[in-house]
A and B are shown apart, each in its own frame.
Chain A
Amino acid sequence: GAGVSQSPRYKVAKRGQDVALRCDPISGHVSLFWYQQALGQGPEFLTYFQNEAQLDKSGLPSDRFFAERPEGSVSTLKIQRTQQEDSAVYLCASSLDYAHSGRPERQYFGPGTRLTVT
């Protein structure tokens, strides 16, 4: 497809379960970003990658959150032992250029995965 895709679109997990959220960026895009959007809020940065290298994970809320992009394309965000406060939409974005390129570069967002923890 032409855009960023994410799967699943909706996920319901019981508290304590582990979940894995997938992001397929636009083909050839070097940079990949994960954001968390709580209800009624703007997206908040979680982590980002340049190819397979994770450049910044300072936004991850706890050590229960883990992200990887082993081959520099598809990325997975994993949440262990989910809690109710993890309920949110998880957005993935990709961009063509390298991070800190100094050039304005558009981030293309996927539709998000809506996670509900019961």
Chain B
Amino acid sequence: QKEVEQDPGPLSVPEGAIVSLNCTYSNSAFQYFMWYRQYSRKGPELLMYTYSSGNKEDGRFTAQVDKSSKYISLFIRDSQPSDSATYLCAMSEAGNTPLVFGKGTRLSVIA
């Protein structure tokens, strides 16, 4: 079993839908949780960064961390075709250390 599990999809939703993406993990030492977006043939770009449990909101994006369940989520409101990409969860035990990524979920938002 991998340290971080993420359903690879693909996930297809209509424009304007609310998208829910999630990851589970097994390493209780993880304290830093991130969501990256990766467009085809590009490097990952950071969307959200949270420390420990709780919620964080940035525009249309909300990240949630539940350390007791070892479960993290990313919600995208009012999804747009430009949100079509692969979304990767990532986590680390300490600040600025190697990241452990999920497999990525491929999302398509259909106009």
Contacts and interface: CB of A to CB of B under 8 A. Distances in A.
Interface of A: 4, 31, 33, 35, 40-45, 48, 56, 59, 91, 93, 95, 97-112, 114
Most buried by A among B90, B96, B104: B96
A100 B95 contact: yes
B43 A91 contact: yes
A27 B45 CA distance: 18
A86 B11 CA distance: 29
A104 B95 contact: yes
A65 to B, nearest CB: 15
Interface of B: 4, 6, 8, 32, 36, 41-46, 49, 51, 88, 90, 94-104
Most buried by A among B32, B98, B99, B101: B98
Nearest to A42: B101
Contacts, number: 73
- The A interface, classified by DSSP as helix, strand, loop or mixed, is loop
Most buried by A among B45, B88, B97: B97
Nearest to A30: B96
A102 B99 contact: no
A109 B104 contact: no
Contacts of B96: 31, 95, 97-101, 103-105, 107
B98 A101 contact: no
Contacts of A48: 98
A59 B88 CA distance: 19
B46 A103 contact: no
